[in-house]
Each structure stands twice: as structure tokens, then as C-alpha cells.
Amino acid sequence: MTNRLEMNRRQFVVTTAAVGGGMALGVRPAGAQTAADIEINPWVLIAADGTVSVRVGKTEIGNGAVSTLPMMVCEELGCDWNKIKVLAAEPNWDMKNNNVFAGKIGARNFNSNRSYQSLEQFQQAGASVRERLKAAAARNWNVGVADLTVNNGEVIHVASGRKAAFGQLAAQAAQIKLDKEPAVKAPDQWTFLGKARAPRTDVKGKVDGSAVFGLDVKAPNMLYAALRQSPVMGGKLRSFDFNAIKDRPGVHSVVVVDPSEARPKTDLKTLYAEPAPQSAVAVIADSFWHAKSALDVLPVQWDDGPGANTNSEDFFKTAIAAVNRGGGTVNRKEGDPLAVIAKGGKLVEATYQAPFLEHALMEPLNGTALVTANNVEMWISTQASQNVMLLAAIETGVPLNNVVVHAANAGGAFGRRIFGDDARMVVAVAKKVPGRPVKVIWSREETTRQGRFNPFSVAKLQAVLGADGLPEAMVIRIAGHTPSTGVLIDTPYASAIPNFMVESIPTNTHLLTGPWRGPGYNTNVFFLESFVDELAHAAGKDPMDYRRSLFAKWSDPAWLKVLNEAAAKGEWGKKNLPKGTAQGFAIGAWPNSKPNDASIIANLVQVTVSTDGSVKVDTVDIAFDTGKVLHPDGITAQFEGGTIMGINKTLNEELTVRNGRVVQGNFDDYPMVRIADTPTIKVHFGGLTGGAKLTEAGEPPIAPPAPAIANAVFRATGKRIRALPFRNHDLSWS
């Protein structure tokens, strides 16, 4: 911690040599740096007209990072929110300035969308500028700095009421060096963060069509590529027949991407494991339509490789056999749960299943790159722009210094745009057409079938209930593709269960997987919270009271506070609901369940199952604890949206595999909930503990809907759904 602060303080007095990046095509939201913007420190620039520019390295994927980070600056600086401009800090620019902005290669400033991680740094940036503006005014007015304050873009001499706009002081402030950096405000001193509703900085471009997403990038003399990768992941291109398409309109060439082709030797490493690109062909043409139409009729043969002849049914059979057999890696063991189970008693057991899932970003994967002998310039929707820079250098052998990456607005991300397999493929295609910018586009079908999927998993849970109905022993066995034990091994429930065990057994497949909003957590909460409801039912207890008993010994009171807030606001136990309508509850924590270290979130849902078996979520009451809140409306938006995604995951989403190939390709067979399916979602703030922690908002809402809906459906129909998605099950009744 101390080291980081020291480093920051050194950075705050450095003024960068070059102007910031992101200007080339203005791909980022609010604008480009102009000559009028005077750099006060690497984060903040002020123009004579009072515009305050904040450099942001995190990309905008929809979660509001490019709004929340400037809010942190504004909290300290006292600026006028209407005069905020967002500038893109780019990795290449930073590298050439000794990483003054991000600190290092691999820094979160460029490779994470989580704004809360940057709080201290951005507050410090704002505080530093404030003190330098005050010092400039103090010098001009011959008064003490202590007699000055800031408000709404002005420095004010309190006694006389004399004022100077930030813009008038900016040039002077840029020259001032402080003896020491000011302390930043403690949360209880905040007047803007956690309180105000600050309109998002990226909305205007998103309502007039001007926001540039990766797919919208235009470069002079640009070609388009339509991409097809081996339909069985890990397969290899055998042959194709260019003659069949070469005379089609606009066709330029066909490019082959060969994973085994020799690549330049390098010491550079990507930030995330991602091997060579998959085997692929791409048709290059003068428009995407020409490229795609030609690819659709291009004869291509593949060697399917080891994944051929596999299918989803076998994946599940193997994983179910594994959880029945046991004997995997024991991830946690307390007491001797196997002996308790062997002894007999009131045993409850259940096996749950969850399929592979695709991210289904609204903006299909794509990217544009211009590769020459010694340079790469690229434009891409990404969650990790520094990693893209590394991948481009590794794929081409171009020195890292000569790789310029412009991060565009991302049309959804949810983890899909972290690993950078898309970026690497773009460069692998574009380097075969050197000297021309190539925009590589995955069709919707290609995007869906060539995902980095949320892995499938199977969990078998067993418990023996004691005389009080609470578990004496619990065993959780999880299998599937790279099964995660996240939020299972550290569940607070274990504090009330004397004999407890979690075991994992990988039953991997040839499919490629990656982070998908709330990895592990997004499905493990379904297993655990469904099972706890089943235990409450077996014990004849109210599921809310049953959880209260299990949390009683847990050291973090936030769980009970969140549970009680949801129960109160959602009116748990509401009477006289019509037949087919019932409430359900679930609670979880992301990214772990460590006390005072995680976001805790609960859903109380009301669900109606029609006689035809269709499931409609009527209402969702959300309670949560993130410790503190940076932007209440931002949290609300994340929770509203994440809940919808969680509902869709529950009801609709499933990828299946036939002969090694992903079957689903588009929204007709990978359906999405629409506005007509949307419940009334209410986000309640009464669960906040206000404690020291400040935790995440984007991933938490994904998990609770599935178990909450499953628990409600059980209460409505008596049917316990243990395999996602719900649309595979007949829930009709009469």
C-alpha cells in the first residue's frame, strides 16, 4: 500500500511529454484532446473555457467506467460536471511516458473495467489539481491557500467572495509543484460520490448514432474480412477452393490463419493465457457483404481433430458419473462428513446441471488492424487494451513500442473481450494483407459458435439434517469443464455445519472457455441456494428463517442485513397470491464469501407459472452490500441489467454440442428475454453496511435470479427444476 502511494505521488508531479492518445479516429466517447487542454497532471487537463478533461484508461463496456472515474476526480476537484470531457488514455502513449498513467504493463487502469479499483488514484489526481489551482489563486491574490475553497469550477476566497474560474488558473497551475500531495477525502466527507446522480458522459453519442464501436471504425483504403474458424474447436483447415469465389464482386483474396505456423520469437507474454489463434480462413473483400457472401459459398474442408464426435449428452453423463463416483480433489474438508452420511439419518441429496453459455454480445466480435513491416495500428472493442497491444506484438514480431491500440466503445463485453483471442485473430488475418487496414468481422453465427464459453457444470449436494433440521454434514461435489469451487468452499453456511466438504472433478471437453459475468459464482449460487431451499423444505422450515439460523454464527453481519432488507422490501410471506404465483429467495456473494471483502446480493422474486407452463418473473426486489456506493444510479442500472441477464440465463440460455460443433448460432435458437418479459425490478439500499469495503457492482446481480426463480417455481408448482435452462422443462399445470 505504502509503495503504491509513494509511486503515485511521484507520478502526480510528472507532466507527460506527449499529448494523449485516442485522437486518430476519435473512437472513444466524449472527444479528442485539443491544443486548448492544458495538462495539469497525467489524469487531468483544464482548458481556458473551464472544460475539465479526465484521462481514462479503462474502456467503456456499458458499466459506466468512463463516468464513474471522472466522478472520483470531481469529488476532490469541485468541478462542474457539465464541463467534464473524457479522454482516452492509450497503452502505447503511456508506455512512451514511462507508464506514468497506469504504472506498469498489466495494470488495472488498462485491463479492467472495475472503476472502484481506481478510487484512490483518481481522487488523488483531483485533489492534486485542486491544490495547484488554489496555490495559483493564492499567489495572484496574495492570500493564504487555507483561505480558499473550490466549488463548481471556481476557486473562491471565502472571506471576500472573490472568485476565479478554473480555466483562468489552469496555465499557472500546470507550472506549480506542491511541497506535498494533499490527503484525499474519506468517504464520510464525500459530497458528490455516493450521493449525486451524475448523468453518464457517454449517453449523447449512444442516442444519436455517433458513438464509435469497434464495428464502426473507418480507416482509409480499408478492406473487410469475413471469418470462419474450424467449426470443431481445435480442428485444422484441410483445404479450400479460392477459384470458386475469385470472380465474385469485390473479392480480394482468401487468407489462411494457421496456428502451427512459425511466429517470431519473443519474450513478451500475454496477460492471460491464450494460445495461438484457432485455424481459420477469411475472405477479404471491398465490403463486408461481399466478403460474407463469398465466404458462404467458399468450399472449405476441415480436419475436425480430437473434438469430433463429441456431444453434450455425453459431457453431462461423464460429469454426472464423476459426481456420483467422487474421489476428486478435496478443496475443503471440516470434520468427517462422509462418515456422518454413511451413518445414515435424514439424508437429502440433489444433482444440478448447468450448460455451456455464450456471452451473446450485441456487437459481434470484430477488430480492425493495419500491419506493416514495423508497425501495427489497431482499433478494437476490448476490456484489456494493454493486453491487445501485447498480443499484436507477439503475433507479428513488431516491437511493442510500435504497436498502437485504440480501444473503441464495446457493444457488450461481460468477460468476452478480456482474453483477446479476437484481437489476436484480427492481427493474424490483417498481417496477411500488409499495408492495408483490414476490418475482420465475425458473423453472429461465428461469434456464437466460436465463443469462450461459460463452462458447463454438474453439482451433487448431499446433507444430513440433525434433530433441529439444520445440516450436521454437507458434501458438495462439482464436475464439468474446469469446474470452479468459487463461493462454495467459503460459503457462510459452512460456519453452521460441523462436517463440511467440497470436492471437484474436472471432466474437460475440447471447447474453449473464458470469463463470463461472475465466473463460477454465476452458476454455483444456483446449486447452493437451490439446495438450501430444498433443505429448508425437508426440515419443514421457512426458507428465510432457515437461512437466518445458518447465518447466525457467521462473523460478517452483512448477510443477515441484506437478507432482512430483501425480505422486508419484497414482503416475504405475502399472503393470498393466486395459484401458480409464488415468491422465492436467494443470496450470494461475489467474488468470494470472505467477511468484509465481497459484494453480497439477494433477490426476492415473485414468479407466475401459467397453466401452459410458461414462467414469468413479475417482480424482483434486490438488496445488497457493497460497503459503500460510488454512484447510486450507476449501481441501480447495473443491477437492473444484470438481473435481466440472470433471468435470461435461467430461463433460456443453453449451448449444445453435436459432433463436436456448437449447434446454436443466432438469437432464434439462443433466445433472449425482451421488454415484454421484463419484471418490475427494485433496487433497495438498506442492506448497505457502510463499512470499510468498497466492492463490485457489475458481476453480483448475475447469480441470484436462477435459484430465486427455481425456489419460487417450486413453491408455485411443487416442481423442483435442477437443470438449467427452465425452457427445457414442462411446467404446465391444471
Partner 1 sequence: MITLNVNGKNYNVDVTPDTPLLWTLRDNMGMTGTKYGCGISECGACTVHVNGQAKRSCVTPAGSVVGAQITTIEGLSADSSHPVQKAWIELDVPQCGYCQSGMIMATAALLARKPKPTDADIDKTITNICRCGTYQRIRAAIHLAAKNTKS
- Min CB(194)–partner 1 separation in Å: 17
Distance from C-alpha of 160 to C-alpha of 137, rounded to nearest angstrom? 13
Does position 215 interact with partner 1 (CB under 8 A)? The reply is yes
The residue among 131 and 358 lying less far from partner 1, judged by its C-beta, is 358
How far lies 387's CA from each of 87, 269, 391, 608, 673, in Å?
20, 9, 6, 45, 33
Closest by CA position to 392, among listed 419, 364, 418, 425: 425
DSSP for 134-193, please give it: HHHHHHHHT--GGGEEEETTEEEETTT--EEEHHHHHHHHHH---SSPPPPPPGGG-SST
* Calpha distance 430→724 (Å, rounded): 40
Q: Which is nearer to partner 1, 210 or 374 (CB)?
A: 210
* Contacting range for partner 1; rule: CB under 8 A; set: 47-55, 165-173, 320-328, 662-670: 662-670
* Sheet containing 581-590, strands listed edge to edge, beginning at the edge strand earlier in sequence: 581-590, 599-609, 615-625, 680-684
CB-count burial class (<10 Å; 0-12, 13-18, 19+) for 19:
middle
Among 122, 166, 224, 419, binds partner 1 (CB under 8 A): 224
* Bridge partners for 155 per DSSP: 150, 164
Q: Which helix (H) or strand (E) holds 234?
A: none
Q: Interaction with partner 1 in 118-157: which residues (CB under 8 A)?
A: none
Residue 431 DSSP one-character state? T
Joined together, the cell numbers standing for residue 374 give 514495423
Least distance from C-beta 359 to partner 1, angstroms? 8
Q: Is 617 in the site for partner 1 (CB under 8 A)?
A: no
Rounded to a whole number of angstroms, the minimum distance from the CB of residue 389 to partner 1 is 23
**207 interacts with partner 1 by CB under 8 A:** yes
Q: Binding to partner 1 by residue 727, rule CB under 8 A?
A: no
* Interface region with partner 1, contact rule CB under 8 A, candidates 60-68, 100-108, 317-325, 724-732: 60-68
Q: How many angstroms separate the CA atoms of 619 and 139, rounded?
A: 59
Among residues 109 and 443, whose Cβ is nearest to partner 1?
A: 443
> Min. distance of Cβ 44 from partner 1 in angstroms?
24
Nearer to partner 1, 349 or 669 (CB): 669
Q: Whose Cβ is closer to partner 1: residue 69's or residue 215's?
A: 215
The span of 115-123, 207-215, 572-580, 606-614 binding partner 1 (CB under 8 A) equals 207-215
By C-alpha distance, which of 113, 135, 110 is closest to 40? 135
409 binds partner 1 (CB under 8 A): yes
Q: Which of residues 665-694 bind partner 1 (CB under 8 A)?
A: 666-668, 672-676, 678, 680-681
- Torsion sign over Cα 655, 657, 658, 661: positive
Output the nine-digit C-alpha cell for 383: 476490456
DSSP 577-635: PPTTEEEEEEEEEES---TTSSEEEEEEEEEEE-TT--EEEEEEEEEEE-SS-S-HHHH
Q: Measured from the CB of residue 94, what is the shortest distance to partner 1 in angstroms?
A: 25
Among 20, 21, 50, 364, binds partner 1 (CB under 8 A): 364
Element (H, E) at 318: helix 312-325
- What is the C-alpha separation between 405 and 403, in angstroms, rounded? 6
> Which of the 8 DSSP states describes residue 449?
H
Closest to partner 1 by CB, 234 vs 634, is: 634
* Positions 228 through 257 that interact with partner 1 (CB under 8 A): 249
Strand partners, 480: 457, 506
Q: Is 213 in the site for partner 1 (CB under 8 A)?
A: yes
| DSSP assignment of 254-310 | EEEE-TTS---------SS---SPPPEEEEEESSHHHHHHHHHH--EEEE-GGGTT-
Distances (CA, A) of 32 to 27, 81, 376, 665: 9, 18, 21, 38
Q: Shortest gap between Cβ of 630 and partner 1 (angstroms)?
A: 15
Site string for partner 1, 262-291 (x = CB under 8 A): -------------------------xxx--
Binding of residue 212 to partner 1 (CB under 8 A): yes
Please report how close the Cβ of residue 676 comes to partner 1 at its closest, in angstroms.
Answer: 4
Using the minimum distance from each CB to partner 1, give the nearer residue, 460 or 649: 649
- What is the strand order of the sheet 154-157 is part of? 148-151, 154-157, 163-165
Which of the stretches 323-331, 391-399, 471-479, 638-646 binds partner 1 when contact is defined by CB under 8 A? 638-646
Q: Pick one of 61, 295, 394, 427: the residue that binds partner 1 (CB under 8 A).
A: 61
Please say which residue, 132 or 416, places its beta carbon nearer to partner 1: 416
Residue 642 binds partner 1 (CB under 8 A): yes
Query: Which CB, 334 or 640, lies closer to partner 1?
Result: 640
Q: Which of 150, 211, 370, 657 binds partner 1 (CB under 8 A)?
A: 211
Peptide bond into 679 cis (omega under 30): no
Question: Please, which residue, 128 or 383, has the CB nearer to partner 1?
Answer: 383
Q: Which of 87, 361, 389, 505 is the binder for partner 1 (CB under 8 A)?
A: 361
**Contact residues for partner 1 (CB under 8 A)?**
60-64, 199-200, 202-213, 215-216, 218, 224, 249, 287-289, 360-364, 409-414, 441, 443-444, 633, 637, 640-645, 648, 666-668, 672-676, 678, 680-681
